[in-house]
Structure 1
Amino acid sequence: MSDELPEDVITLIDQTVHEETADFPVERGYVWTACASVENGNPLYWDETAAAEITGGPIAPLSMLSTWFRPHHWAPGRDEPKLPLQVHFDLKKRLNLPEAIIAEFTTVFHEPVRPGDVLTTCQRLRSVSPVKRTKLGRGRFWTIDVEYRNVRGELCGVESYTGFGYNREEAAA
């Protein structure tokens, strides 16, 4: 593996890529199913009056932000399955790092997601480290932000992923 970062990867840093619109709108049935599965009785998700008083209407739980963008494995007319976090897979391929883990994940929330919203998302590569050696192998760390916006263009949240792509056969002793 070359220690030099390819120019096309350097050019990708801080660029917006993989802009997409969700395949389906936010719906309360998904919210209720998710809340029921973990016995989340927060009235914001169940009670119209409480939601109206507290948040100006129904909202989805913060933890469901990426739910609205998890692609279905199959859809009519789609030849290949969609992958979430496409930049991660692009980097693995481009840098010839077949193995990868997500080493850190954070989310910053902004505007609430509401039933009926159709979210849009984009991905942004924030950084790629020099070559590092870890117990997993020799590779690079990268940080990717995924931004989510509602139909009004308001920022709903940003997920930040730090991944480590590596070659297992070069693992440290």
Structure 2
Amino acid sequence: MATEYPPSATDLPPAVQALIGQPQYEEQTEFPIEQGYVLTSCASVQNGNPLYWQPAVAEELTGGPIAPPSMLSVWFRPHHWAPGATGERTALMTHFDLKRLLDLPEAVVASNETVFGEPVRMGDVLTIRQIVRSVGELKDTKLGRGRFWTIDVETVNQRGEWVGTDTYTCLGYRKPGQ
């Protein structure tokens, strides 16, 4: 079933119109998915689910260890520094592109929805791509004048299997008087 997105505004700059529906920023995880990251994440939120801590339970339930589905976006949060890396290292670059192209210096994530596919397994190498799905009309909000936009982050594993999609609805805005 295809997701329905609101229609995009008709007054968008050509550079923004050109982004809609076009995959951007395709990238792979910087390292294969590994158990240490999974256990550290589970420990940080006191997630004691035996599926993640006990290999025999994971084998019985899922055919081997998997990462918690809620970690899907974790694998693409870049380290602020990496050997040889240059420039800004941030997740969800299409969001920052839209802020710049629309001259909206402030932004918040208004909602986030994730749909899961195949489980993420230890050793998987994941690939994402970001797709701007819609950019709304200018509107006045309590935060200021701005636009809502929707971005999908689609993720597949090294076998080409879809493992999930994060959908972000954001509000980019300019504070009154800015």
1:24-79 Cα distance to aligned partner (Å, 9 max, x none)? 11110111111122222212111112111111110001111111111000001112
1:104-127 Cα distance to aligned partner (Å, 9 max, x none)? 111111110011111110000000
Moved over 2 A (4+): none
1:132 to 136, 139, 145: 139
Distance of 2:29 and 2:88 partners within structure 1:
14
1:67 to 62, 71, 74: 74
Following TM superposition, by how much is the alpha carbon of 1:170 offset from its aligned partner in structure 2, in angstroms? Answer: 5.0
Provide TM-score, normalisation by structure 2.
0.90
Which consecutive residues of structure 2, in runs of 5 or more, have no partner in the other structure? Answer: 1-9
Following TM superposition, by how much is the alpha carbon of 1:130 offset from its aligned partner in structure 2, in angstroms? Answer: 0.9
Q: Which residue of structure 2 lines up, in the alignment, with residue 44 of structure 1?
A: 51
Q: Does 1:154 align with 2:161?
A: yes
Q: Which residue of structure 2 lines up, in the alignment, with residue 105 of structure 1?
A: 112
Percent identity of paired positions between Structure 1 and Structure 2: 60
The 8 Å contact of residues 74 and 81 in structure 1, kept in 2 or not, is answered as no
Which consecutive residues of structure 1, in runs of 5 or more, have no partner in the other structure? Answer: none
1:13 to 20, 26, 37: 20
Number of residue pairs aligned between Structure 1 and Structure 2: 169
Supply the RMSD in Å over aligned alpha carbons: 1.4
Q: Which residue of structure 1 lines up, in the alignment, with residue 102 of structure 2?
A: 95
